[in-house]
Amino acid sequence: MMKVRFGIVGFGLHAVKRLMPGFRGSQYTIATALSRRNAEHARQSAAEYGIPHWFTSTAELCASPEVDAILVTTPNSAHLSDVLTALGHRKPVLVEKPMGMNAEECRQMRAAAERAGVLLGVAQVFRFTQSLARIRALVQGGEIGEPLFARSEFSYNGLGHARQWIDSRQISGGGPIMDVGVHCVDALRFVLAQEVARVTALAKFDEHWPEVEAAAALDLQFDRGTLGTVLVSARAEYRTPIELVGAKGVIRAADGLTVEHPITIEILHGGKVTHSEVVNNAGAYSQQVDAFALALRGEQPFPATSEDGLRNQLVLDEAYRRIENAGAQP
């Protein structure tokens, strides 16, 4: 079986830290090309990671006959242009989260993919983790009864981060709501199998990032009544707890959204832990590209669709509208 040949647009820190290990562990894909704006940097990266072809523009990469599919990993503000360029070459696209800067950009990408007749997916990597798959199965299996509350948090220290553009509203679109809140929203939608019907939000700003929020709290009401909370911060230490409270019990994982170490999932009944199991998310990035390859071959649908990208973005957009209307933005 021939492997799907990926071209990576915007080969940077994420590609080095996450994507290339994912391709090395992949059964059905291989990275055959990359693009970087600086020619010398592109050449060096290609040589270092054994990638045979390098380019300095998205258009050149997408035109290459050695590339079957495109993985867009550029900063958020470039997603629309890069995705539309790839779709213009009728190449399937897997675009990093958040899908766009706003819902209108997501709609433009979806329309272009439909016109081109090719697959457009979103790299919501935690959909490919054992932790969320197991939590989803427990919830859907009725382990805790009807879910009443759902909470997801994602905090990290963004000061001095290697992605120097994350505090630029023009490039990032926002702070941790855009950066990691999208993971939390998608995780809750996925494990609950419910859609967000209502959003409220509060944000905290500080002198370090004058253009975007430093932390935020989102309250979500889902369409079957579950109440959700998403807490995000670019100031606290790294933590990604997820917890679901139902009429019959609780499911929790102290670091449910991480690929760094094994995760313990606990089930509680009557306030006591009645079950505990350990899962490992280390292969999530390999699973993600393999799932995309299998979808291209028509063997299974891709689990993180462009519709998911749009639905997540609608929640983020509404959160920012609520914050702006409250007069909280600088």
Six token digits for residue 95: 């675009």
Q: Where residue 329 falls among pLDDT bands split at 50, 70, 90? A: low
Q: Where residue 328 falls among pLDDT bands split at 50, 70, 90? A: low
- Tallying the residues shown for the chain, one arrives at 330
Nearest to 40 by CA among 56, 20, 19: 56
Q: What is the pLDDT of residues 55-67, one digit of tens each?
A: 999 999 999 999 9
Domain 126-281+313-325, CATH homologous superfamily name and number: Dihydrodipicolinate Reductase; domain 2 (3.30.360.10)
Residue type, 132: L
Has residue 281 got a pLDDT over 70?
yes
Q: Where residue 126 falls among pLDDT bands split at 50, 70, 90? A: very high
| Percent of all residues in the chain with a pLDDT value above 90, rounded to a whole number | 96
Q: Do 126-281+313-325 and 4-123 have the same topology in CATH?
A: no
Per-residue pLDDT at 163 = 87
Per-residue pLDDT at 64 = 98
Per-residue pLDDT at 76 = 98
Phi/psi-derived region of residue 157, left when phi > 0, alpha when psi is between -120 and 50, beta in every other case: beta
Has residue 238 got a pLDDT over 90?
yes
Please give the span between the terminal C-alpha atoms of the chain, in angstroms, as a whole number: 54
Q: What is the pLDDT of residues 147-206, one digit of tens each?
A: 999 999 999 999 988 888 999 999 999 999 999 999 999 999 999 999 999 999 999 999
Has residue 105 got a pLDDT over 90?
yes
The phi and psi torsions of 303 (rounded to 5 degrees) equal -70, -20
DSSP 237: P
The Cα 132–Cα 140 span in angstroms is: 12
Residue type, 172: S
The Cα 98–Cα 113 span in angstroms is: 17
In CATH, the architecture of 4-123 is 3-Layer(aba) Sandwich (3.40)
Q: Where are the domains of the chain?
A: 4-123, 126-281+313-325
The Cα 144–Cα 244 span in angstroms is: 8
93-96 and 69-72 beta bridge pairing: parallel
